[in-house]
Amino acid sequence: MQLVGPAAELGADRLRQMYELMVLGRTLETRLHNMYRGGRLGGAVYPGVGQEAAQVGFASALEARDVFGGTHRDLMMQLTKGVTIEETLLNFFGKAEAPTKGRDGNSHFGVLEKGTLMVISPLPDAYPVAVGCALAFRQRGEDRVALADCGEGATATGTWHEAVNTAAVLQLPVVFTVQNNQYAYSTPNERETRLEHFADRGRGYGIPHSVVDGNDVVACYNAAAEAVERARGGGGPSLIEAVTFRHFGHAGHDPADYVDPELREQWLERDPIARFESLLIDEGILDDEQILRLADEVSRRVKAAIEWAQSRPDPDPASVATDVFAPRTGPRAPEPEPASGEPVTMLDAIRSAMVEEMERDERVFLLGEDVGPFGGAFKVTAGIYDRFGADRVVDTPIAESAIIGAAVGSALMDRRPIAELQYTDFIYPGLDELVNEAAKYYWKTGHPVPMVVRGPSGAGLRAGPFHSMSPESLVAHHPGLKVVCPSNPVDAKGLLLAAIRDPNPVVFLEHKKLYRSVKAPVPEGDFEIPLGSATITRPGSDVTLVAWAAMVHTCLAAAESLAAEGISVEVVDLRTVAPIDWDTVFSSVARTSRLVVVQEDVPVASIGSEIAARVADELFWDLDAPVRRVAPPMTHIPFAAVLEDAYLPQVDDVADVVRELSTI
């Protein structure tokens, strides 16, 4: 090792600081590992011992204003970014004052104020989030950079590809680093790729890429410093692979007996801390006495911090169900007044909401596949690109994970992203980012994630099993997500405006059959419909029908036909299925004493299941008949018109169930 390149300009104090961080990281991780193996630490540990040079070298190239997103093995990168060992230990011990307030343990945390993103188990989920941060920096004209790190095993995932490819296409200020520690858990490199180096993948994305000695902190720093400055200057992303070796197994419980002993010994002889010590001694920056004194000081500091953290209070058990949603603060627009004038389609109302909010708030922007000049698969975004340009209407590759993850990252950087899916059937590839990043972020860290994921859903257009899903039950199952299903233009506009302004992730499902088939006058001026508020679209006294989206119209038609038979039906439009407006549902059922839930989604583990169960539980003595559900059979959505009609609840299906209940 020798001081060359950008590292040669660091100065003695900075080099000593980097060495101290390496020693601190190894001392801390070794102590935690020993405590885990001795049964004195719960959860898990993922030691990065042996990878100090890569972690400290890479993170040292960042400035305080830059952002870092890593994995469970990147504890030293967190420390280098300014996270304290006290914050770290509070999290390992699950304490109330920890970065995650005891809601997640070990190294699964981030301290956004210090520029580190939340760590979660699925890898490399921080990659798309870092891409979103970089997108926000570029949109605001800031010369900030995001760095995303992972191990070599994570480069095999679709998430990794989507993030790197999207950043390359958009030329974003982000640096991607890979710590190749030879094993993805127990799987060696030759079982992970046919390439000689993982960085060779950069050639396929058309971005600069390099391979460095991951046990040489100077080499790692130099490579990262050059990539960071390239990104900061508008040169786009880079990919760096640090070839290194982890001294222990994947986690504390892993003995790593799959590693050849001779190979292990060869790597131990190249220990990164010993190599850096030799350089600093040769440069006259440290001597043997100073090294011993520093090791003793660090050891005492870690010991004292462990004792302090263990003594801190545990979380209050009463807080177990709190902080699912961030509270909305500040003024709200009024609810809509009755409107007159020319009726508009639901599609036009949705477009109008986005345009008006983009004009009102410069933080709001759109991203997704074909949302730009093409105007989206259903032309919902038509004309918006011409009005606001490429910075605020961002065409992306086909990459649902990257799209949703980038929305998370940009939302954390004080943007208000609206991510469009061509069809909400395609939400599955993005669920990891939606469920594990967006939905959990506020609950774990206290940082809101104001974003909207919107797109066409629902059946009835003979589109077959891959373009007709109603995924509301799927996403509503996950705490932290709000789910909206409008049934008409006024509600669509008012709910979308409220969704964009909400501090939480909102999934906005637009029933494609209603896009152009339902029209109504929409009030002028600013208005909102509060999320979580149902409405009674038709009052009645004999039976309550609860529905949302297209099924509201099916229920209204059934109610109209039943009125001729003397049966008075009340129709409740939920509008928001997560959270549900239980007060409106309960008060309606208490009046009518009968409930039918009508849904387009399949019946098992659904919104209808939850409504039926809760009404039966809490309003049992108000009911004069069993709660009934009208839903499709538990099968896939067919293509042929006669099959799709047989699948979807029809007016007669609803009317028959109401007639049956009204006789009980």
Catalytic residues: 467
- C-alpha angle 21/123/126, rounded to 5°? 65
On whether the CB atoms of residues 549 and 458 are closer than 8 A, the answer is yes
Q: What is the DSSP string of 38-78?
A: TTSS-S-----TT-HHHHHHHHHTS-TTSEEE--TT-HHHH
Q: DSSP assignment, residue 325? A: S
On whether the CB atoms of residues 553 and 523 are closer than 8 A, the answer is no
Instruction: Determine the Cα–Cα distance for residues 371 and 380; give it in Å rounded to an integer.
Output: 8
- Judged on CB neighbours under 10 Å (0-12, 13-18, 19+), 40 is exposed
On whether the CB atoms of residues 605 and 553 are closer than 8 A, the answer is no
The first and second tokens of residue 561, run together, are 């036909």
CA dist 177 to 164, 205, 238, 574, 648, Å? 11, 15, 8, 46, 49
Segments of 580-652 assigned E as strands: 595-598, 628-630
Instruction: Determine the Cα–Cα distance for residues 663 and 490; give it in Å rounded to an integer.
Output: 36
> 643-659 as b/e, with b when 16 or more CB fall inside 10 Å?
ebeebbbebebbbebbe
Q: What is the DSSP string of 476-523?
A: HTSTT-EEE---SHHHHHHHHHHHHHSSSEEEEEEEGGGTTT-EE---
Instruction: Determine the Cα–Cα distance for residues 81 and 70; give it in Å rounded to an integer.
Output: 12
Instruction: Determine the Cα–Cα distance for residues 85 and 111; give it in Å rounded to an integer.
Output: 12
On whether the CB atoms of residues 593 and 623 are closer than 8 A, the answer is yes
Taking each helix axis from N to C end, the angle separating 158-170 and 126-140, rounded to the nearest 10 degrees, works out to 10
- C-alpha angle 32/38/44, rounded to 5°? 50
- Cβ neighbours around 139 below 10 Å, total: 17
- C-alpha angle 518/459/660, rounded to 5°? 85
Tally the C-alpha atoms within 13 A of residue 348's C-alpha that lie toward its C-beta: 11
Instruction: Determine the Cα–Cα distance for residues 102 and 95; give it in Å rounded to an integer.
Output: 5
Instruction: Determine the Cα–Cα distance for residues 572 and 559; give it in Å rounded to an integer.
Output: 12
Could you tell me whether strands 451-457 and 505-511 are parallel, antiparallel, or unpaired per DSSP bridges? parallel
